[in-house]
Structures are given as structure tokens and as C-alpha cells.
Copies of this chain bind each other. A is one copy, B any other.
């Protein structure tokens, strides 16, 4: 792992604010309220890094099925077919349904098994977990803070740049329930900003990024013609 290598987010105008991107090997929380394009942002990172940098990626689905997700991505001009030899989309729900005879495998074990095996075979550089709260629920943690701490330690050993998608409650500034926000090496926050009575804008911001001297400011997040962009907010 080269000192100083960075994974670009390919959100135009945002990587410069991060000193070029995210330091390799970090675990980054991608946290935001519903509708702030977290899945699109995360897959876009995998997609563009596969297409342009030749990096392998793995996207683990827990909330939705692969069909819905694929259709979503195609609608967003990010077709998985374009990168199919570099990117693996794992539909954990379907896998578990097919493992009926193996009832002793918990969700967390299945997740770890697939994450490990694909690391060995595909040797991905980027891992996305969509989403962390669902993984936490399905894992049935008894001591959430402690077991989450151990899960983070386990993920660090994967030596991949990892994005954990986390749903925030609208209006809340709480990045996580069980200390995710200080276990993570970085936090990227997306939100809805009500700019006036009628209009709502999506915003993005880097809250924290270890090994990086970054701007903490908000930018407007725009998706147009298959391209994500972070632009300066025009004050009135």
C-alpha cells in the first residue's frame, strides 16, 4: 500500500477538497438521510475506479435485491455490465435464502465469508457495505458497541478502502448509534437542505478524514447526465 495513494470519489469538485481523494485502506462512513444518493455515490466510486483506474471492487447489498439495484444503476447511467469483470455485486439476501441447509451460518458470518473469499479471488481495492445499519440489525449484536469495534478491526485487516453506508434520520446530526462515527477513519455526510419553502437541495461534506487536511464545508451535490458534482453554494 503506497504511502499517499488516494482513492478518488469521482465527484467532480470534491476530490480536490480531500487533497485528491481518500487515503487507501481507510474505513469511511457514508452517512446521510434517505434520498441523498448514498448508493449512487458509493457505486459510482467503484464504477469509475474500475473503468478508469482498473481497480477491482465489491458491492455488498443488504437492503435491496440485485435486480432493483441493477435497474437503478442503469437508470443512473452506471450499468454494472460496463465493469463486470472488475466489479462484483453480492446480494446477501439471496445468498442467505439459498443457504437454508446451512442454518448455522449467521448473517455476519456469511458477510465475512463472502468479503474474505472475494478479497482472495477478486482482490478488490474497494468494498462497499449497503448498509451498515441493516448488517448490524441482522447480526443481532448483544453488545453493539463492543462487537462493532471488533467488526471494524476485522474490516481493517481486509486492507481495502471500505465505504459503510449509514442511514441518518432526517433532521438528525447523529452519524451513528453505536460509536460508528469515531471508529470510522472518515465521514462523508450527505443531507437535504431546505433552501426555501419549496426547494430542497442535496448537500455533501467531508466531516472527518484521517491523514487528510480537508475542508469541512458544505457543497451542493448535483447529479446530471451520469455525473456527480459538488459545487460551491451560492449565498444569496
By a beta-carbon cutoff of 8 Å, the part of chain A in contact with chain B is: 3, 23, 25-26, 34-35, 63-65, 68-69, 71-72, 74-76, 93, 97, 131, 133-134, 137-138, 140, 143, 145-146, 149, 153, 156, 167, 169-171, 173-175, 179, 181-183, 185, 187, 192-193, 196-202, 205-213, 216-219, 223, 232-233, 235
Structural contact, B174 and A200, CB atoms closer than 8 A: no
- A198 / chain B contacts, CB cutoff of 8 Å: 217-219, 232-233, 235
Closest to A39 in B: B210
- A235 and B54 CA atoms in complex are apart in Å by 49
- A167 / chain B contacts, CB cutoff of 8 Å: 179, 181-182
- A34 / chain B contacts, CB cutoff of 8 Å: 175, 181-182, 187, 207-208
A81 CB to closest chain B CB (Å) equals 13
Closest to A196 in B: B235
A233 CB to closest chain B CB (Å) equals 4
Q: Name the 5 nearest CB pairs between A and B, nearest first.
A: A35-B208, A198-B233, A170-B173, A72-B211, A137-B145
- A183 / chain B contacts, CB cutoff of 8 Å: 63, 134
- A171 / chain B contacts, CB cutoff of 8 Å: 173
Cβ 8 A contact of A75, one of B25, B156, B200, B212: B212
Structural contact, B146 and A138, CB atoms closer than 8 A: yes
Structural contact, A197 and B140, CB atoms closer than 8 A: no
Structural contact, B68 and A134, CB atoms closer than 8 A: no
Closest to A178 in B: B137
- A23 and B187 CA atoms in complex are apart in Å by 31
Structural contact, B202 and A213, CB atoms closer than 8 A: no
A69 CB to closest chain B CB (Å) equals 8
Cβ 8 A contact of A140, one of B131, B146, B213: B146
